[in-house]
Amino acid sequence: MGAVVGLGVGIGLLLVWLALVSPRQVRIVPTGPGRLTRLLGRAGLSGTSPRGVLLVCAAAAVVVGLAIQLISRTAPVAVAFAAMSGYLPVAVLRGRARRRQRELAEVWPEAVDNLASAVRAGMSLPEALGQLGVRGPEPLRDPFLLFAADYQVTGRFGESLDRLKERLSDPVGDRVVEGLRVAREVGGGELGRLLRSLSGYLREDARTRSELESRQAWTVNGARLAVAAPWLCC
């Protein structure tokens, strides 16, 4: 009995000593935007609060769930419809984000061509970017207008590009912004060449993406037709 007590006291003292001697582990709290915030940015709704979206989801789930419960008086059915209704706003946001990304992917080559033309005309890169807010493709005008105002106030090109990147929330836009950052650092006679190369790369990427999406649509539609064919024949 004494050996057991001594062993327990020894283990307790060892644990206390380890707690005092061992370095404390600092818990890293992520400070970046959440998934819903990024989804709102990709959908072009950066001004919308994620809390508002969650409230809409909760309200839709409650209203539809109560309505189905009153009609069917079956709790599992009401819960299923409530879950689908609660997810519906998020599904709408994802669809909007996909459409916006496809739309931006189509206009980015034109925007880069406008940049290259403005640079050849003697404008600096920040001035050419600001002109996209006036003469660029319609879907990109608002972010570049905000970039022009931001650069006019701060005069810091890199930080203005970072904020432009956040406003765009677009994978192709991220590549364009980083390409512009490199082009700004290179400058000189290489700037126009870099912009033309970037435009050609974006056009090729958009063409490849379109072909892949078309093949995927054919495959999915073929699979759906194969599944539905036996039922249609009956």
Chain segment 127-181, per-residue pLDDT in tens: 888 888 888 888 888 889 999 999 989 888 888 888 888 888 888 888 888 888 8
Instruction: Please give the pLDDT value at position 193.
Output: 76
pLDDT digits (tens, 9 = 90+) for 41-81: 888 887 788 899 999 999 999 999 999 999 988 888 999 99
Instruction: Please give the pLDDT value at position 63.
Output: 94
Which has the closest alpha carbon to 106: 203, 4, 224? Answer: 203
Q: Is the sign of the CA dihedral 9, 10, 11, 12 positive or negative?
A: positive
pLDDT of 87 higher than 90:
yes
The band of 31, judged by pLDDT with boundaries at 50, 70 and 90, is very low
Q: Which of 9-18, 26-35, 88-97, 183-192 has the lowest mean pLDDT?
A: 26-35
Exposed, middle or buried by CB within 10 Å (0-12, 13-18, 19+), for 222?
exposed
| Residue 175 vs residues 58, 62, 169, 171, 181: alpha-carbon distances, Å | 36, 42, 11, 7, 10
Which has the closest alpha carbon to 206: 160, 157, 164, 171? Answer: 171
Tokens matching residue 59? 């309200």
Which residues fall within 8 angstroms of residue 52, CB to CB, at 6 or more apart? none
SS3 136: coil
Instruction: Indicate the average pLDDT of the chain.
Output: 80
C-beta of residue 144 within 8 angstroms of C-beta of residue 112: no
